[in-house]
Amino acid sequence: MSIAARVVAGAALALVLASGCGRSQPATPDRPGPAPVTTTAPATAASLDGFEFGYLPAGATSSGLDSHYTATVGPDGLRNPGPPPAPGEPGAAVSMRRFTEAGESGSWFFVSVLRPFAGQRADPSQEQMTRWLTQGLVSRADRAEPFEVDAGRAYLLEHRGTEVTSHSLVITAPSGAVLTVEGAASLTAAELRRIATAVVPG
């Protein structure tokens, strides 16, 4: 199950990602969420947790407050839903932003930044958790096409359903952060490639 799908399933009583799987930290007056921006041209310069998304599909509108939480990480990747890491345990901090399409209702796609952090023990290392995060996401796809972008190593993922094929994007940055873009089947492979090539550290 994708990060966005897990989040929506676990967030019936909260904003998108503010589920019981981690320490929810919604935007507050001293840390406001992004103001919605509606445009009919490609949206630009969306910043999230240290990364700048220089290109977004036409009509992309940020919706609601950004979501922030922590989750445990294992060999199978991000364990979400699940209990948050206990103090001193390794895990990953997740930031997510939801986008809708101008003039439409419902979610169109989600952009997430996952930042693993080490615990008090040396094993697993932060580098190992980055590998687990990446492998966990890529292994759920029916097909993965790797390619290099300025932000790191990208993977264009293909998910084949019984009626429709959808795509998602994973980028592993040199810093160890893992970025994902996933959503509706209308988010095409071509658009995901354009998003990937325009991501830079902010």
φ, ψ (nearest 5 deg) of residue 31: -140, 75
Task: Output the CA–CA distances (angstroms, integers) from residue 145 to 75, 124, 125, 132, in the order listed.
Answer: 21, 27, 27, 18
Residue length of the chain: 202
- In 10 A of CB 128, how many CB atoms? 15
pTM of the model: 0.78
* Mean local confidence (pLDDT), 125-147: 96
Distance between alpha carbon 44 and the CA centroid of its chain, in Å? Answer: 18
Q: Give, rounded to a whole angstrom, the gap between the first and last alpha carbons of the chain.
A: 29
Sign of CA dihedral 196, 17, 65, 32: negative
Q: Lowest-pLDDT range, 1-15, 75-89, 143-157?
A: 1-15
User: Which position has the token pair 């507050």?
Assistant: 28
Structure confidence at residue 140 (pLDDT): 93
pLDDT value, residue 1: 54
